[in-house]
Amino acid sequence: MLKMILKDLRISPLRSVLTSISMLVGIIAMIASFLVGTLGSGYLVAVNAQIYGWAPTYSFSVAGSCFEDSSKLEDLFLSLERVEDHTAITFSMREDVRFAPVTSISSLQNLDMAVYKELFPVDVVFTTSPYNQIYNLPMSSGEWLNGSGSNYSLEIVINKAAKSYFNAPYAVGNVGSSLALTPFHIIGIVNDGRDVATVYIDAYSVAQYVPTMWQVQNATIYWNSTHGLTTEQIYSALSDCIADTVGGELEYSGRSDVGNTYDSVLSMLQIGLLVTSFLLLFVSILGQINIGLSSLEQRTHELLIRRAIGASRSNIVLLVLGSQLILSAFVCVASILISILLVQGIGMYLPADSPVPSPDYPILVAIISVVASVATALLGGLLPALKAAKLEPALALR
C-alpha cells in the first residue's frame, strides 16, 4: 500500500505540490501567529517595564526624613536589601546637577573656567543598584551600577540619549552655582527608552564621598512585588523601615499597572491572532478539499479500474487519505525546520540592548501545529476519499 501511495503522489506532481504548499502555509501561519502574539505581548510588557517598572511596581514618596545622616541612611539601604522583593529608592535634590565630559581624571588639575561653560543640565537619577531590577534597563555597553563607591572615582551610567554628550570615559559634576567639580567614571550605557539625556548615579556613593552634592529634598521608594503582597502589607513594612532608620512621612503614590487598558490590549491581540489562525486553518482545509475533488474527477477512471480488479472501499479510502498523510509528514518536517530558522533569525535581528528578549522556540505550539496539519490532511482528504469509495466498479465498463 505504501508503494502504491508513493507512486500515486508521483502521478500528479502539481497536485502534490499545491497540497503541500497549502499545508505548509497553514503550519507556518500558526507558528508565526503565535510568535507575533508573543513578541507583541513581550514588546508591550518590556516598554511598559522600561517606563513604569515591572508589574506590579508600587511607589511610595518619602518626605521630612533625615537623609543627611549617613549612618541612618546606610541602615535604610540595608533594610531595603533584606526585603525578599525587589526594592529601590531614588532621591530628588534641592539644586540641579550639571555635567561635562572630560578625557581623564588627571586633566581635572588643569581645569579652567572654560570647563564650567561646557556644563549642561541632564536628568539625574540618584538611586540604588537594584533600580535595574525594578525597571527593564538592558545595557548597550559596559555594566550597571554595582552599589560600591571608591575614593578615587565615583561611577555613573548614562542612557543612549546622553551618549552624544559624553564622548569621553569620564565626566565632572557640578551642583547649582558651586565651583567645586566632582569626577565620575562612566562605566556603562543603558537603554532606558527615554529621549532625554539621563545620568544614573549610585546614591550611597554620593552620600559618602560627595556631601556637597548630597542635598536631598525628598525620595521615592519603588517596590516590585514578586511574592503577592498587598498594598497594605507593603506600606506597613516600609513604614516600619522608615521609622526605624531615617524617619519621615511615607505616602502611597500608586502602582504601575493600575487600570484594565493594558490587559485589554493584550487580550484583543491574542484573540485576533487566534481567530486568524483558525481562519488560515479553515482556508487550508477548503483548499485541500477543492484540490482533492478536482483530482478525483481526473482519476475517476483509474479508481474505477482499481475497484473492478478487487480493491475494496477501505483500500480506496486509505489510498486517497494516505497520500494526504504522507504529504503532511513531509510538510511537517519542512515547516519545523523553516520555523526554527525563523525564530533564530528573530533573535539574531534584535539588537543587544533590545528591551524585548529573544523568543524561545514554541515547542508546544509546534506540536499543536503538527497535530493541526495531520487533522487538516484528514479533513481535507476525507470528503474526496469517501466520494471515491462510493464509486461503483460497473462504471468502469462505460
pLDDT over 90 percentage in the chain: 28
Pair 224, 136: CB distance under 8 Å: no
Give the closest residue to 135 by CA, choosing from 159, 108, 164. Answer: 159
How would you label 197-210 residue by residue, b for 16+ Cβ within 10 Å and e otherwise? bbbbbbbbbbbbbb
Give the closest residue to 248 by CA, choosing from 45, 26, 72, 30. Answer: 72
- 239-289 confidence digits (pLDDT tens): 999 999 999 999 999 988 654 455 666 667 667 776 777 777 677 677 667
pLDDT number for residue 252: 94
- 48-59 confidence digits (pLDDT tens): 888 888 989 999
Q: Is 50 exceeded by the pLDDT of residue 151?
A: no
pLDDT number for residue 307: 67
Average pLDDT, the chain: 80
CA distance 40 to 270: 9
CA distance 326 to 291: 16
Question: Which of the pair, 19 or 224, is modelled with greater confidence?
Answer: 224
pTM of the model as a whole? 0.75
CA distance 325 to 330: 9
Q: What residue ranges do the domains of the chain occupy?
A: 2-49+261-397, 56-255
> At 258, which amino acid appears?
V
Pair 19, 324: CB distance under 8 Å: yes
pLDDT number for residue 104: 76
Q: Kindly state the cell numbers that stand for 220.
A: 521615592
Q: pLDDT confidence of 41, banded at 50, 70, 90?
A: confident
pLDDT number for residue 106: 67
> Phi and psi at residue 169, in whole multiples of 5°?
-75, -5
> At 189, which amino acid appears?
I
Q: Where does residue 313 rank: exposed (0-12), middle (13-18), buried (19+ CB within 10 A)?
A: middle
Question: Which of the pair, 31 or 341, is modelled with greater confidence?
Answer: 341
Least confident among 106-120, 134-148, 225-239, 369-383: 106-120
Question: Which of the pair, 149 or 357, is modelled with greater confidence?
Answer: 357
Pair 166, 101: CB distance under 8 Å: yes
pLDDT number for residue 392: 65
Q: pLDDT confidence of 328, banded at 50, 70, 90?
A: confident
Residues with Cβ within 8 Å of residue 305, at least 6 apart in sequence:
396
Q: pLDDT confidence of 140, banded at 50, 70, 90?
A: very high
For residue 186, the surrounding DSSP H or E stretch is: strand 182-190
Q: Is 90 exceeded by the pLDDT of residue 305?
A: no
Least confident among 139-143, 181-185, 302-306, 367-371: 302-306
- 153-171 confidence digits (pLDDT tens): 689 999 999 998 888 888 8
CA distance 91 to 126: 5
Q: Kindly state the cell numbers that stand for 250.
A: 511615607
> What is the C-alpha radius of gyration for the chain, rounded to an integer number of angstroms?
33
> Phi and psi at residue 267, in whole multiples of 5°?
-65, -45
Q: Where does residue 67 rank: exposed (0-12), middle (13-18), buried (19+ CB within 10 A)?
A: buried
Pair 180, 342: CB distance under 8 Å: no
Q: Is 70 exceeded by the pLDDT of residue 349?
A: yes
- The CA-based dihedral angle spanning residues 129, 131, 135, 136, taken in that order and rounded to the nearest 10 degrees: -10
pLDDT number for residue 8: 59
How do beta strands 154-159 and 198-202 pair?
antiparallel
Q: Is 80 exceeded by the pLDDT of residue 36?
A: no
Q: Kindly state the cell numbers that stand for 347.
A: 533573535
Give the closest residue to 332 by CA, choosing from 359, 367, 364, 306. Answer: 367
Across the range 91-101, mean pLDDT stands at: 89
How would you label 267-294 residue by residue, b for 16+ Cβ within 10 Å and e otherwise? eeebeebeebbeebbeebbebbbebbee
pLDDT number for residue 299: 67
Across the range 311-326, mean pLDDT stands at: 72
